[in-house]
Every structure is written in C-alpha cells, then in structure tokens.
Amino acid sequence: MTETYADIIVDISHEKLDRPFQYVIPKELEDKLETGMCVQIPFGTGNRVIKGYIIDIGTVCKIDRAKMKSILGVVEKGVSVEDKQIALAAWIRKNYGSTMIQALKTVVPAKQSVKKLEHKTIERVMTKEEVISLLGESLRKKQVAKARLLQELTEQETIPYEWVTGKLAVSAQAIHGLEKTGVIRIVSTTSFRNPVRFGAQSEQRKTLSPAQQEIADTVIQEYLDGMPSTYLVHGITGSGKTEVYMDIIERMVALGKQAIVLIPEIALTYQTLLRFYRRFGDRVSVMNSTLSPGEKYDQCERAKKGEIDVIIGPRSALFTPFPDLGVIVIDEEHESSYKSESTPKYHARETAEKVASLYGASLVLGSATPSLEAYHRAEQGKVKLFTLKERLTGGELPEVTIADLREELKAGNRSIFSRELQELLKDRLEKKEQSILFINRRGYAGFISCRACGQVMKCPHCDVSLSEHRNGRLMCHYCGYSEPKPTLCPKCGSRYISGFRAGTQQIEEKLIEMFPGVRTLRMDGDTTKTKDSYEAILSAFANGEADVLIGTQMIVKGHDFPNVTLVGVLAADLSLSANDYRSAERTFQLLTQAVGRAGRGTRPGRAIIQTYQPEHYAVCHAANQDYENFYSEEILYRELGDYPPASHLLAVQIYSKDEASGDALAAELANMVRDTDWFQKELTESIRQKKKPEISLLGPTPATIGKINDVFRFVFYLKSSNYEKLVSIKDMLEEKIQNRQLRTEMVQFDFDPMNTM
C-alpha cells in the first residue's frame, strides 16, 4: 500500500521556516486528515512538539524517506483552514510579501479561548404608545438625550447598551432613570446578539429607479450567466448606492448565496446597520472592533455553519469563511483604511477580486469619489462602470465659492475667516441654522519655532515637529511624547518662540471672539480618544446642541446633518503640501466630502473653500463636484510620474534600532537589485533606445519621518509597470533576508503604498 505525506506549514513566524515541511501521515490518521487541519508534529533536532497546518496531501515523497518524521495527531480544538483560505493566503503572501504563517493568520481568525465580553441590552417594557406619549413629554421639557432614546424605542424593542451611551450619547444616569420608572429593562448577556430582534419592523423596500435597477439587474444577470465581474458604482452620497447593494444582496440570498459588505469602520453607523438589520433580520451580523477576538471567531463559525447570510464589517470581514459566497460589496472603496498597515500589507479591494474569483462571486465597488485605481480599471474596461447622478431624497448640491486667502490679506483681512465666510456665519447664526468648519489639521497650533533663530521644537524620538496644546505642553503625534512648552528658545535663548497655523482649538477661540455666545462643538484627535466620544459629539450636533461644529477630517464622514446649510473649509491647501503622490487625490476627496455636508435637508447649502492655491485642479474640481475632470488631470500626472495606477510602486522599508546598520542594510539591498544582470541590461537598453526603463530604483534614503519611537527608518522605491517584476524582486530580497539572521533590523514590503514613508 502506498504511503501518504502531508506538506505542513509550521506555526512559527520565522522567515527561515517559511516553507512547507513534509511529514508522513500515519496509517491510523489516514482518513482523518484533510488539508487545512491543524496538527501536532515533532520539530527540529530536539523534536519539540509544535503545531502546523496541512496545506497539501500527496503520495510523492519529496525528501529522504528515512529522515521523514510522522504527524503525531490532530489538534482537536485547532482551527481548520479551508482550501480556499490556503489558496488566498498563498496569494497574499506572494503579492504583498510576508511569511506564509503571517498570511494564514491574516486570513484565518485566531481561535481564542472564547472570552466573552459582557453585552448589555436595553429592552422596552412599556408599550409603543406609552413610549410615544413619554416622548412628547420629554420633548416639551427639552430633555433631548432622553428623547433620543425614547424615539429609538418607538422603533426598536431592544437596543444595545453601548449604542445608547455611545452613538445616542445618553448618559448612564438617564438610562437608569428610565429603568427605575419602568420604561425599560437592562439585560445582561454574554453572547453577542443582533441588536435588532428578528421580526422587528422591516425596512420599507424602495422601488428602484431605472438607473438603480439597471445596476442590480446587470450584476445578477451576469452572475446567473456564470460571468460574475467587478462593478463600480460612482454616485454621490444619497444617490441610492446602499439601496442597490441591498437589492443585489437580497437576490443573492434568495439564490442561497452569502454576501460580504465592507464599510470603513468610521462609517459603520447605527443608521447604516439598522437598514441592513431591518432588511435581513438576524441573518445579518456585524464584525467590528467592539467584538473580542473570541467573538469574531464565533461569527466566523456561524458563517461557516450557514447561520448567517450577510456580514458587515471593516477590512478584515473580507475573510469571513462563507460556504457559498455570491457577492462582495465594498462601499467607499477609495478609503485608505482598506489597505492594511501591517504585514502583509494587502489592499482589501485587490484582495476582494481574488476572493471573488476563488468563489466565482461578483464584486461591487461604490464611491462618490472613486479611487484612481478603480476608475482607471473602469476606463480600461476591466471594471464595469455605473453612474448614479441624482440625490434621491432631494437636497441640491451646495453652491460653492473659493476664497483666495492672498486676496483677503491684500484687502487687510488678517483673520482666519474670509469676509464672505464671516458674513455667512453671521447669517446662519441669526437664522438658527448650523454650520461646519473644517480644518485639515489637529491641535491648537502647528509646529513651534523660534522667530529669532528658526529653531523648530522636535520630538527627541521621532523626526517630527511637536505641536502645542492648550494645556501648555508640546506633544508628538506619532509616539505621544510630551514636554512643557519652553519659555525661552533652547538654542538661542530668545523669548520669541511660538506656534503658527490654526488648529481646531484656535478656530474655536477666534469664533467665540467674533460671535460671543456661539455654541460650538469641537471634534479632533484629542476630543475623540474613544469611539464613543466620536459618536457622542456627532449626535449632540445632530440634535442641535451646537451652532457650529469645528473639526478635522473625521467630521466629513458618517452622519447626515439636515440643518447644516454652511460648510467652511479653512485651509484647503494643507493637505496639498504633503510630500506624497496621493495628496491631490486625498485633497479632492476630502473637499468633495466636506462640501457635500452642506444642504442635506430641505434648505439649499453653501460652501466656502479658503485656500492659497485657488487655481489648483484638486481645489477647482472639488468646488464644482466634478470627479471626471479631476480624474483626467490626475491620471495624466500619475502617467507622467509613473505612479500607481499608471505604474506600480514597491516600497522596501528598512527599520533598525541602530542608524548605521539600517543605513548599511538599505544600501546593500538596493545595490543587490541594481547589480542584477537584468537591471543593468534594462538600464543600458533604455539608454540605447532612449526610452524609459521598464524598472527604476529610487533611493535608498532615510524616510520622511526618519525615526519613530527610537527606531530608524529607511526606504527605497522600485517603480515598474510590470507588477510581476516587482513581485520577483520582492522574492529575491525576501530570500536574501531569510538567509541572513537579522537581529536589529526588519524589512517590510509595501506595494502601491497609500503613503510615502
């Protein structure tokens, strides 16, 4: 009888061990083992017992049979990995660079000793009618927070406690008050349940507009024809994209298929989730950061067993192991949070295409400001493009004006608000309408420098300038280091040491100075340390508890504010000056989103973009809400500079505790690439034929931020239109690194990075 052997990846994150090892499958285990199972094996000279994953089973003995060891047994409680997950992990490993075990761990949820978090739920005890009459009463008494909860209770019988304290911003005291008077009951559970009970009032199904219908029909028809594809739905917020997703999902579920919906964590609002819950009842589940790892694992198990049809979550929900996935939806596909920041640095959009092809599923992307990548693929015909042009709930796009700050200064206006913005703010305050002021920066002021000698206060651990906070301390935004603000310049002793540029706190102060009595709310990295505080500020603003909301980029997402009729962007340029090839795209997205915040209700909105570069194409096209023209200019720039998506970029990042050895390693790796025959040949060819080389190398250099947390960072970039070529360079460098026992250095790869380092 023939023997069978298993290829096993050992569960140790070590580059040297990043290949399969072959083991004999003992007779008694022969019909118990399958690929993907977690097994115990003896390993190394000491035959230490460790865990590993079977990635293949066969009858060909690849090494000396006499030296081959046997599998000891199955890890009963281990996670078994599906074939498709192994294939996906292998693809991620190859295309983004990591060890196989790192890739497997990305794809497969860690089996945790399921430590369940306690979840509290609020349940309505009184009847709906009684709650409605209480609601009227608390509205009369202006108990806004209490009213918010009562309002919600008229629609839902049960609501998760965290949502009430977080997203609805109701205090624990107010909740207990309602409990005491017998309106609600607080129930404690240790299992995560859907916030909406099955049978809750179901979402009113809309009759799709012809444009919506065409999208949904095409996706479903092509799926049924066995030709699932990738689709891009380009439509402003409110144009009905979510309604299209839900229709497609509903039809997929009717076919017995499952769906994954990716939404950036910041946009996973109560309202969005409720729409899905109401439509799909308890066949839908959420995977978000409030779940413990054990609970995430549970959700995956439920998906595997077919207990749910739809999962909603951020990036990692893509790996939910559904038995028969039919569609993946990626909403706000342009969001940079879809790219993983740790190794393997995969992009969920690209990886979703792989997942879709493994399952024969459709992929639907949606955005108001599509990524250059997605739109470029649509232009090339690789993705089918649909455009939704109108807002379905009324609400005109706001009228936008650009205020040239240079002209303001010439006219003698030295305030941070242009004259037009001042007038409009005054008008809104009089009319009791709300305004949003948006700045692309946080902290009281930007960097602190000496006006006499130019010395800039920097973090001693990171190569970035410190920012001044109102408590009088200087802080580092990378590592959190802080020190008291010096009264004298540490270099020259001058007293003229101060900050420049406006931050959210300074805007708030100026605003109060100009409009005494104005009620403000401020939202930035400092006021939103926790996710709950973020939701609380948004809810308070939505409830009219302030006239003006001042904030950084985080205010442009999520909630709808129907009473906002004015948006002011205070310094549109700040994000343009970032030393990064995506800065124009990011600026365009931010400005478009910010401007789109005005006029969501019945009254028309106005937006003012203040800038020093009024002629910049990202600013002009955002003011006109003109994506197509922005795209045409931006793609030209990418083509000229050979930047993604026109070409591909591989960042090789070297981290080291020791500056000199990091520098040396970076130079060594870069030279290795330069010295290869084909690189040299490519270079001479390109000179001879006077054409661009197929591949080029930039650097190495210390990174823009040369040091973070006392770790030095170096980087070099490889550019090529041929992704495969970059993958092979990565493979070569990975092998080189494997053969070297790096002690104080670490090397990471980042394909088509979101930020230059």
Footprint of Zn ion (CB under 5 A): 450, 452-453, 455, 459, 461-462, 476, 478-479, 481, 489, 491-492, 494
The residue range among 174-182, 231-239, 547-555, 686-694 that interacts with ligand ADP, by the rule CB under 6 A, is 231-239
Q: How far is the CB of 370 from ligand ADP (least distance, A)?
A: 13
Select from Zn ion, ligand ADP, none the partner in contact with residue 209, using the beta carbon and a kind-dependent cut-off of 5 to 8 Å.
Answer: ligand ADP
Helix (H) or strand (E) holding 534: helix 531-542
Select from ligand ADP, Zn ion, none the partner in contact with residue 474, using the beta carbon and a kind-dependent cut-off of 5 to 8 Å.
Answer: none
In contact, 549 and 527? CB cutoff 8 Å: no
Q: How far is the CB of 341 from Zn ion (least distance, A)?
A: 18
State the pairing for strand pair 158-160/119-124.
antiparallel
Contacts of 411 (CB under 8 A, 6+ apart): 419
Which residue, 478 or 581, has its beta carbon nearer to Zn ion? Answer: 478
Q: How far is the CB of 746 from Zn ion (least distance, A)?
A: 19
Q: Per CB under 6 A, does 237 bind ligand ADP?
A: yes
Q: Per CB under 6 A, does 62 bind ligand ADP?
A: no
Which residue, 239 or 720, has its beta carbon nearer to ligand ADP? Answer: 239
Query: What does the alpha-carbon distance between residue 40 and residue 54 come to, in Å, rounded to a whole number?
Result: 10
CA distances (Å), origin 742, targets 103, 246, 272, 424, 662: 21, 50, 47, 60, 11
Q: Per CB under 6 A, does 266 bind ligand ADP?
A: no
Which residue, 209 or 755, has its beta carbon nearer to ligand ADP? Answer: 209
Which residue, 212 or 647, has its beta carbon nearer to ligand ADP? Answer: 212
The vertex-522 CA angle with 520 and 525, nearest 5°, equals: 175
Select from Zn ion, ligand ADP, none the partner in contact with residue 61, using the beta carbon and a kind-dependent cut-off of 5 to 8 Å.
Answer: none
In contact, 258 and 322? CB cutoff 8 Å: yes
Which residue, 452 or 673, has its beta carbon nearer to Zn ion? Answer: 452
Which residue, 246 or 669, has its beta carbon nearer to ligand ADP? Answer: 246
Q: Is 334 helix (H, G, I), strand (E, B) or coil?
A: coil
Q: How far is the CB of 471 from Zn ion (least distance, A)?
A: 18
Residue from 133, 393, 577, 744 binding ligand ADP (CB under 6 A): 393
Query: What does the alpha-carbon distance between residue 213 and residue 227 come to, in Å, rounded to a whole number?
Result: 19
Residue from 15, 243, 332, 353 binding ligand ADP (CB under 6 A): 243
Select from ligand ADP, Zn ion, none the partner in contact with residue 515, using the beta carbon and a kind-dependent cut-off of 5 to 8 Å.
Answer: none
- CB atoms inside a 10 Å sphere around CB 469: 18
Which residue, 52 or 596, has its beta carbon nearer to ligand ADP? Answer: 596
Q: Per CB under 6 A, does 392 bind ligand ADP?
A: yes
Query: What does the alpha-carbon distance between residue 611 and residue 620 come to, in Å, rounded to a whole number?
Result: 11
- Spatial CA neighbour of 34 closest among 68, 58, 17, 62: 58
Select from ligand ADP, Zn ion, none the partner in contact with residue 237, using the beta carbon and a kind-dependent cut-off of 5 to 8 Å.
Answer: ligand ADP
In contact, 194 and 119? CB cutoff 8 Å: no
Q: How far is the CB of 291 from ligand ADP (least distance, A)?
A: 24
Which residue, 393 or 722, has its beta carbon nearer to ligand ADP? Answer: 393
Q: Per CB under 6 A, does 269 bind ligand ADP?
A: no
Select from ligand ADP, Zn ion, none the partner in contact with residue 462, using the beta carbon and a kind-dependent cut-off of 5 to 8 Å.
Answer: Zn ion
Q: Per CB under 6 A, does 238 bind ligand ADP?
A: yes
Q: Hey, what are 487's tokens?
A: 């009264």
Q: Per CB under 6 A, does 195 bind ligand ADP?
A: no
Query: What does the alpha-carbon distance between residue 53 and residue 82 come to, in Å, rounded to a whole number?
Result: 11
Q: What is the dihedral of CA 577, 578, 580, 583, to 10 degrees?
A: -70
Select from Zn ion, ligand ADP, none the partner in contact with residue 175, using the beta carbon and a kind-dependent cut-off of 5 to 8 Å.
Answer: none
Query: What does the alpha-carbon distance between residue 485 and residue 489 come to, in Å, rounded to a whole number?
Result: 10
Interface of this chain with ligand ADP, residues 323 to 362, rule: CB under 6 A: none
Q: Per CB under 6 A, does 230 bind ligand ADP?
A: no
Select from Zn ion, ligand ADP, none the partner in contact with residue 581, using the beta carbon and a kind-dependent cut-off of 5 to 8 Å.
Answer: none
Q: Going along 76-143, which residue ranges are E strands?
A: 119-124
Contacts of 322 (CB under 8 A, 6+ apart): 258, 260, 303, 304, 311, 359
Which residue, 74 or 385, has its beta carbon nearer to ligand ADP? Answer: 385
Residue from 102, 106, 242, 285 binding ligand ADP (CB under 6 A): 242
Q: Per CB under 6 A, does 240 bind ligand ADP?
A: yes
Q: How far is the CB of 669 from ligand ADP (least distance, A)?
A: 45
Q: Hey, what are 134's tokens?
A: 């209480």
Please count the residues of this chain forming the interface with ligand ADP, following the rule CB under 6 A: 15
Phi first, then psi: what are they for 80, rounded to 5°?
-95, 145
Residue from 235, 370, 398, 700 binding ligand ADP (CB under 6 A): 235
Contacts of 220 (CB under 8 A, 6+ apart): 248, 251, 252
Which residue, 212 or 320, has its beta carbon nearer to ligand ADP? Answer: 212
Select from Zn ion, ligand ADP, none the partner in contact with residue 242, using the beta carbon and a kind-dependent cut-off of 5 to 8 Å.
Answer: ligand ADP
The residue range among 64-72, 97-105, 232-240, 306-314 that interacts with ligand ADP, by the rule CB under 6 A, is 232-240
State the pairing for strand pair 258-262/310-313.
parallel
| Sheet strands side by side (includes 745-751) | 695-708, 711-720, 648-656, 745-751
Q: Is 575 helix (H, G, I), strand (E, B) or coil?
A: coil
Q: Per CB under 6 A, does 264 bind ligand ADP?
A: no
Helix (H) or strand (E) holding 190: none
Residue from 4, 143, 151, 209 binding ligand ADP (CB under 6 A): 209
The vertex-212 CA angle with 155 and 338, nearest 5°, equals: 75
What would the x/- binding string for ligand ADP be over residues 589 to 628, using CB under 6 A? ----------------------------------------
DSSP result, 261-273: EE--GGG--HHHH
Q: How far is the CB of 392 from ligand ADP (least distance, A)?
A: 4
Query: What does the alpha-carbon distance between residue 570 and residue 18 come to, in Å, rounded to a whole number?
Result: 51
Q: How far is the CB of 393 from ligand ADP (least distance, A)?
A: 4
In contact, 277 and 194? CB cutoff 8 Å: yes
Select from Zn ion, ligand ADP, none the partner in contact with residue 54, using the beta carbon and a kind-dependent cut-off of 5 to 8 Å.
Answer: none
Select from ligand ADP, Zn ion, none the partner in contact with residue 543, using the beta carbon and a kind-dependent cut-off of 5 to 8 Å.
Answer: none
Q: How far is the CB of 243 from ligand ADP (least distance, A)?
A: 4
Q: Per CB under 6 A, does 206 bind ligand ADP?
A: yes
In contact, 555 and 596? CB cutoff 8 Å: no
Select from Zn ion, ligand ADP, none the partner in contact with residue 461, using the beta carbon and a kind-dependent cut-off of 5 to 8 Å.
Answer: Zn ion
Q: What one-character DSSP code corresponds to residue 614? A: T
Query: What does the alpha-carbon distance between residue 570 and residue 382 come to, in Å, rounded to a whole number?
Result: 39
Helix (H) or strand (E) holding 400: strand 399-404
Q: Hey, what are 144's tokens?
A: 């806004």
Which residue, 331 or 508, has its beta carbon nearer to ligand ADP? Answer: 331
In contact, 692 and 686? CB cutoff 8 Å: yes
Which residue, 232 or 459, has its beta carbon nearer to ligand ADP? Answer: 232
Q: Per CB under 6 A, does 208 bind ligand ADP?
A: yes
64 CB burial (10 A radius; 0-12, 13-18, 19+): exposed
Q: Hey, what are 201's tokens?
A: 């009032």
The residue range among 93-101, 203-211, 320-328, 595-603 that interacts with ligand ADP, by the rule CB under 6 A, is 203-211
Q: What is the CA radius of gyration of the chain?
A: 28
Query: What does the alpha-carbon distance between residue 404 and residue 396 come to, in Å, rounded to a whole number?
Result: 25
In contact, 342 and 96? CB cutoff 8 Å: no
**In sequence order, which ranges of 305-380 are alpha helices (DSSP H)?**
348-359, 372-379
The residue range among 18-26, 102-110, 182-190, 207-215 that interacts with ligand ADP, by the rule CB under 6 A, is 207-215
Q: How far is the CB of 714 from Zn ion (least distance, A)?
A: 18
User: By the criterion CB under 6 A, which residues form the site for ligand ADP?
Assistant: 206-209, 212, 235, 237-243, 392-393
